[in-house]
Amino acid sequence: MIDKIKEHINKVNLFKTVDPKEINSFRIKYLGKKGLLNKFFKFFKDVSGKEKKSFGRELNLLKKAVNEKIKTLQALAESFDEASTDLDLHRPGYHSGIGSRHPLSIVKNRIVSIFSQIGFNLSEGPEIEDDWHNFTALNLPEHHPARDMQDTFFLRKNPDILLRTHTSSVQVRYMENNSPPIRILSPGRVFRNESISARSHCIFHQVEGLYINTQVSFADMKQTLLYFTEALFGKSKIRFRPSYFPFTEPSAEVDIYWGLETETDYRITKGTGWLEIMGCGMVDPNVLSNCGIDSKKYSGYAFGMGIERIAMLLYQINDIRTFFENDIRFLKQFSSTV
C-alpha cells in the first residue's frame, strides 16, 4: 500500500493543466468525500504497528503534494485573462528562428582558433588606457610625430587617459607581468577619431599577436603568417613590403595574392591581384626594455590585423558600416555559420 501512495505522489507531481474543470476534477479525485485520501486514511487503522509510521509519513506527503499542486494550478489558471480565453492550448507553437553569430565574432573566433593550434594564448585588457601603455611604452614618447597616425579619443580632458587606439597596449601589460617565452594573441575593440565612411569607422576590432623568446627571427614570423594565411584564406602566396611602425624594426605590410579570376578580384585588388591584410615586424628593443625584458637576450615579432577588413574580404562586404547597423536582414545571412 505504501508503494501505491508513492505512485500517486509521483502522478500528482507530474499533473499539469490550466483548465479549471480539470483542476476541479483533480481536487475531487483526491480531496473529495469519496476521494483517494479518505480511502487511504480509512485503511490506516488496519496497518500493522511496524508500518504505521512509514504509512502515515507517505500519506501526509501525498496530502501536502495534492494541496500544493491545486494552489499552483489555480494560480496559473487565474493568470489567463479574458483576452486569452480564445487561446488554443493544443495548437503547435510558433517556430523560433535559429540565432546567428555576428560576422565579426565568427571571423575573430576563426583567427583565434588558427593561432591557438600553434601555441598562442589569449590575452585581453582594458579599453580605457593610459598614455604609458598605449603610446610611451611602445616607443611613442610625447610629441612623437607617429602619434598623429592615430587620432585619439581622450577622456575627461585628461591627456593621460584615453580610449585605446590598438590592442598593442594589452601586449605591454602582459610583458610587464610575465617573463619570456611569451606567445599571446590579443583581440579587442579599438577607437580612433576618424570620419565614418564605407571604408573606415571610429570603432573597429583588431587581433594582434606577439612572440618573445631567444633567437626569434624574421623568418620565424614569416612562416607563422604563411601558416595563418593558408589556414584562413587558402592562399599560399604572400609578400612583405617594407613599412614603418614605431614599435617594430624592421616593419612590413603583409599582402596575399588574391588572384584575378573574376571581376570582383579586379575590383578589390585594383587590378594587381594583391591584397594587404596586416602589418608586422620584429619588436623594437626599446619596447622590450620599457617592459622590463632584456633586449640583448630576447627578441620577438608582432603582427596585427583589422577584423573588419578580414571579414569584408571573406564575405565580400562593401560597406564597413553594415557591421554596426544591427540590420536583422544582414545578420540572418550568418545563422548557419559557427
Q: What is the CATH number of domain 104-334?
A: 3.30.930.10
The whole-number pLDDT of residue 119 equals 94
Of 299, 322, 296, 298, nearest to 311 by C-alpha is 322
Query: What local confidence, expressed as pLDDT, does residue 338 receive?
Result: 58
Q: Rounded to 10 degrees, what is the CA torsion of 78, 80, 86, 90? A: -100
The DSSP-derived string for 215-276 is T--HHHHHHHHHHHHHHHH----EEEEEEEETTEEEEEEEEEE--SSSHHHHHHTTTSSEEE
pLDDT for the residue numbered 83: 47
pLDDT at 57: 85
pTM over 0.85: no
**Full pLDDT tens readout for the chain, 338 residues:** 778 888 888 888 888 888 888 888 988 888 888 888 888 888 777 777 777 788 788 888 888 888 998 888 888 887 765 445 566 677 787 777 677 889 999 999 999 999 999 999 999 999 999 989 999 999 887 776 666 656 788 887 777 888 999 999 999 999 999 999 999 999 999 998 888 888 888 899 999 999 999 999 999 999 999 999 999 998 889 999 999 999 999 999 999 999 888 888 888 888 999 999 999 999 999 999 999 999 999 999 999 999 999 999 888 888 899 999 888 888 888 876 65
In the prediction, which pLDDT does 80 show? 63
With b for 16 or more beta-carbon neighbours within 10 A and e for fewer, the 23-48 pattern comes to: beebbebbeeeeebbeebeeeeeebe
